[in-house]
Structure 1
Amino acid sequence: MSKFKKYGLIAISVAIVIAILSGREIFTAFMGWRALDGLESRSAAVREGSLNESVSAPGFVEPVSKVDISAQISARVMALPLREGDVVHKGDLVVQLDDRNLKAVLASTTARRDGERARLEAERARIEGPKQSLENAKRNLERQRKLFETGDVARQALEDAMVKVQEIEAAVVGSQKNIGALESSLAASEAEIERVREEVSYATIRAPIDGTITRLNAEVGELVVVGTMNNAGTVIMTIANLARMRVRAQVAEADIAKVLEGQPAEIFINAFSGRTFHGVVEEVALQRTSSGQGSAASATQGSGTFKVDVSLDADGTRIFSGLAANVDIAIKEHRGILVPTQAIVERKRDDLPTALAESTVFQGVQRVVAIVFRDEDGVAVATPVRLGSSSLTETIVEMGLSAGQSVVVGPYKTLEQLKGGEKLRKETIVPAGAGKTAGKTSSVSVKVGA
């Protein structure tokens, strides 16, 4: 390698080193100027307001009034005048089943009843003759007894009269028993006719409520069957009144004691993203929801749920049955001084200045305490706070702050560096609740549960 090339490489290397050192000096000087100008910060105003504590629970939308139309007789579907989605009114024909066999049975049973009624009338007419003969035989017996007592007739004549009475009496009793049997048979036939007539009426199914056919499970020609203890019957269709809807929510066991009838709720339906519906708790189940074989284990672990029905104000929107939803039930309202949750930082008590660590705002012997940094004329002031209820966005401060003060809310790297006394370079001040209607008290929610 020539001396010229060697010296050239050395010169280039020296230039690179000088450039790196110069860059560091320039960067250090720039950062020092930035530090002198203050740490970049964002602030928010402390305000007085309300914070709503709520219980969150998943659920699904369903009509308040819903009827499953099932078959009460086993027969084939002959007609379905309406289809799924059609509106029906109470009393409208919705299903016609095949009733020809039932009508034949009804005609046969009616004919048998009429025959038994005719036989009963004939038996009642026939018994009148033996009854009259019996009366005559009894009078003849009485005459024979008197003549026998005066010695005008022999004992044989008296005994013949007595036998005659007994024979006729036996015939009358037999006829009376036949009449009783025919009456019982006639009553059974009448009952059978009523039963068959009722079954014939089951073949014509009418809408029990006003509503909409939300599900149709059968078609013309299909056989529908009656349910038994072990086998479910055929549900031909479902009719629901979509004008009144509700959310059936499953509230966690740990939260159910806080939920009461009449509490307001916000409803979020997955199909209506970004829209909030409103409702009221209408019913709270007293029985824990069964979870099958695992119910005993889940009860021990406290992981069960309770059914809670929440009315749904659709505000004119058509909402379909079965949609997934979530409800936030407002269980309590807290009022006080609100600060953005992100402004609160935790510090080890031993790392704080003595005066700050011994503040009476802190309770007991907490080893980790909460503080905020107030923005006082561009200087960070470490301030101890006692916290109350909190949400993801705001927290109630029970002691340590006043409405109107400004607190540092970010950026995160600035909050991590702050110890108190640092100069702040304000980026922007965003009042809490900005964008809300002036003059109205704003509020946030504390969501409990999943």
Structure 2
Amino acid sequence: MKKGLIFAVILILIIGIPVLKKYRGTDKTKAVEVQQVSMKTIKASILASGQLKHEHQVKLTAEVIGKISRLYVKEGDTVKKGQLVLEIDDQTFVAAVEQQKAAVDQQKVSIERHKLVVMNVAKQLKRKRELYKQKLIGEDEYDTINHQYKVSEIDLKGGYELLKQIEARLEQSNEQLSKTKIESPIDGVITSLDIKEGETAISGTTNIVGSGLMTIADPNSMLAEVNVDEADIAQVSIGQKAEIIAIAFADHPIIGIVESIASSAKAAPGRGTLSFAVKLNIESSDAIKLLPGMSCRAEVFTQGEQNLLAIPIKAIKTDEDNDEDTVENYVFIFEAGVAKKVTVKTGISDDTFQHIIEGLEIGASVITGPDKIIRHLKDGDSVEIAEASSSDEDEDD
């Protein structure tokens, strides 16, 4: 009996102590970080991400079918405009040109024959006309020679038309032959080489692009193409400044200018929302070597600097009312050891601070963290200011 009682007490202690700790823990005051509402210098901006690209680049494609017989460049080579970069086997095209040249020569000979026929028939017609006037031949005989003359003229005219057609085919064959020698259309660098000697290049059609041969780009014409969310695109305009950060050079921000804005939206990569492609011209990047395809993010400044009542962006939380399809922003303020939920109306923001239009007054202590606590904080929770709180810091931009 005694042993059973001891066992029951031990069991109660094992189960009860953790439960007691759990319930006592829920009443524990939460240590939070706070920061006072103050005037901050805000430069309104929107954030976007994308890739670096060459502004001036061309992708060479095949315009005729044939094997690559000579390749004069490799990836990374610098080329000049008009420089020969590759050749396609031209034997078939040379043969076609020679065949059309022979056809032209043959048709010219045929035309000369027709000229002689016309001249001969013209002489006969002239003689027959005189005889007809003198009533020495009948009308039928005169009409016959007159008809022969008209037919010979038609044949000669047809010969000239056929010559034009053959010459057009010769010109086309020469053009096809010229397309076997591919030259660089710009000064630049070979950024990609998509074919090798011996491989067959396929020409394009109306609906199908020909074989990609290589890409040539001007290395001095780098830009950033970023995807701006459709909710932000109305704030973006040509000429606005931007700060661009290539992921590979996170400590070297680059200045850019909005150069162009897409006129239509497209599905944002990896998301269900729509975005607009915005091109940012890079003003200078001498300190770092930017490469096409590098990921980047950009902060586009949509307004000038303003001194406004503001709090850290991380302090703002959002309530979504699905019934009314509305979004309500709120913060928690520290007031006499209690977290008080306050609805706020927000204005412009930068990447750190959010302008508060309504809901807070200067000097109020806004709870800014830690995130693991503020995420589950409720109106009326007991709180205390953590020793390392940022309330005593005054971060002015």
Residue in 2 that maps onto 1:224: 201
Residue in 1 that maps onto 2:227: 250
1:215-235 Cα distance to aligned partner (Å, 9 max, x none):
001111111011235644210
Residue in 2 that maps onto 1:430: 393
CA distance in 1 between counterparts of 2:140 and 2:134 reads 14
Verify: 1:80 aligned to 2:71, yes or no.
Answer: yes
CA distance in 1 between counterparts of 2:388 and 2:82 reads 75
Q: Which amino acid aligns with 2:292?
A: S
CA distance in 1 between counterparts of 2:44 and 2:239 reads 15
State the Cα distance separating 1:98 from its structure 2 match. Answer: 1.2
User: Quick check: 2:345–2:357 contact (8 Å CA) kept in 1?
Assistant: yes
Verify: 1:327 aligned to 2:298, yes or no.
Answer: yes
| Alpha carbons of structure 1 residues 273 and 340: separation in structure 2 relative to 1, 3 Å | closer
Which residue among 151, 174, 177 is the counterpart of 1:197?
174
Which residue among 271, 289, 313 is the counterpart of 2:283?
313
1:394-437 Cα distance to aligned partner (Å, 9 max, x none):
344558756xx796878869x97679xx9x9999943313xxxx
Verify: 1:126 aligned to 2:117, yes or no.
Answer: yes
CA distance in 2 between counterparts of 1:367 and 1:133 reads 106
Verify: 1:177 aligned to 2:154, yes or no.
Answer: yes
* TM-score, normalization by structure 1: 0.66
State the Cα distance separating 1:74 from its structure 2 match. Answer: 0.4
State the Cα distance separating 1:182 from its structure 2 match. Answer: 1.1
* TM-score, normalization by structure 2: 0.74
Q: How does 1:280-359 map to 2 (within 5 A)?
A: 280-289=257-266, 303-316=273-286, 317-333=288-304, 334-340=306-312
User: Quick check: 1:68–1:235 contact (8 Å CA) kept in 2?
Assistant: yes
Verify: 1:165 aligned to 2:156, yes or no.
Answer: no
Which residue among 236, 242, 247 is the counterpart of 1:265?
242
State the Cα distance separating 1:315 from its structure 2 match. Answer: 1.8
Residue in 1 that maps onto 2:108: 117
User: Quick check: 1:387–1:395 contact (8 Å CA) kept in 2?
Assistant: no
| Alpha carbons of structure 1 residues 197 and 290: separation in structure 2 relative to 1, 3 Å | farther
CA distance in 2 between counterparts of 1:100 and 1:94 reads 19
Verify: 1:135 aligned to 2:126, yes or no.
Answer: yes
CA distance in 2 between counterparts of 1:75 and 1:203 reads 8
CA distance in 2 between counterparts of 1:58 and 1:256 reads 13
Residue in 1 that maps onto 2:28: none
CA distance in 2 between counterparts of 1:193 and 1:425 reads 86
| Alpha carbons of structure 1 residues 239 and 310: separation in structure 2 relative to 1, 3 Å | same
Structure with greater helix share of residues: 1
Gap regions ≥5 residues in structure 1: 1-39, 145-156, 347-365, 375-381, 434-441, 443-450
| Alpha carbons of structure 1 residues 393 and 248: separation in structure 2 relative to 1, 3 Å | closer
State the Cα distance separating 1:174 from its structure 2 match. Answer: 2.1
Verify: 1:96 aligned to 2:100, yes or no.
Answer: no
Q: How does 1:403-442 map to 2 (within 5 A)?
A: 429-433=392-396, 442=397
CA distance in 1 between counterparts of 2:390 and 2:48 reads 39
| Alpha carbons of structure 1 residues 291 and 229: separation in structure 2 relative to 1, 3 Å | farther
Residue in 1 that maps onto 2:353: 394
Q: CA RMSD in A?
A: 4.0
1:310-353 Cα distance to aligned partner (Å, 9 max, x none):
2223422331111122222222344224455678999xxxxxxx
User: Quick check: 1:385–1:397 contact (8 Å CA) kept in 2?
Assistant: no
Give secondary structure in 2 for the equivalent of 1:228: coil
Deviating more after overlay: 199-208 vs 253-262: 253-262
User: Quick check: 2:69–2:88 contact (8 Å CA) kept in 1?
Assistant: yes
Residue in 1 that maps onto 2:42: 51
State the Cα distance separating 1:238 from its structure 2 match. Answer: 0.5
CA distance in 2 between counterparts of 1:408 and 1:129 reads 111
User: Quick check: 1:259–1:331 contact (8 Å CA) kept in 2?
Assistant: yes
Deviating more after overlay: 329-338 vs 238-247: 329-338
Number of matched pairs: 345
Give secondary structure in 2 for the equivalent of 1:271: helix
Deviating more after overlay: 272-281 vs 92-101: 272-281
| Alpha carbons of structure 1 residues 141 and 247: separation in structure 2 relative to 1, 3 Å | same
User: Quick check: 2:37–2:366 contact (8 Å CA) kept in 1?
Assistant: no
CA distance in 1 between counterparts of 2:390 and 2:226 reads 44
CA distance in 1 between counterparts of 2:234 and 2:316 reads 31
| Alpha carbons of structure 1 residues 137 and 215: separation in structure 2 relative to 1, 3 Å | same
Q: Which amino acid aligns with 2:176?
A: E
Residue in 2 that maps onto 1:69: 60
User: Quick check: 2:50–2:226 contact (8 Å CA) kept in 1?
Assistant: yes
Residue in 2 that maps onto 1:33: none
Give secondary structure in 2 for the equivalent of 1:127: helix
Q: Which amino acid aligns with 2:282?
A: L
Quick one: percent identity of the two aligned structures?
24
Give secondary structure in 2 for the equivalent of 1:119: helix
State the Cα distance separating 1:131 from its structure 2 match. Answer: 0.7
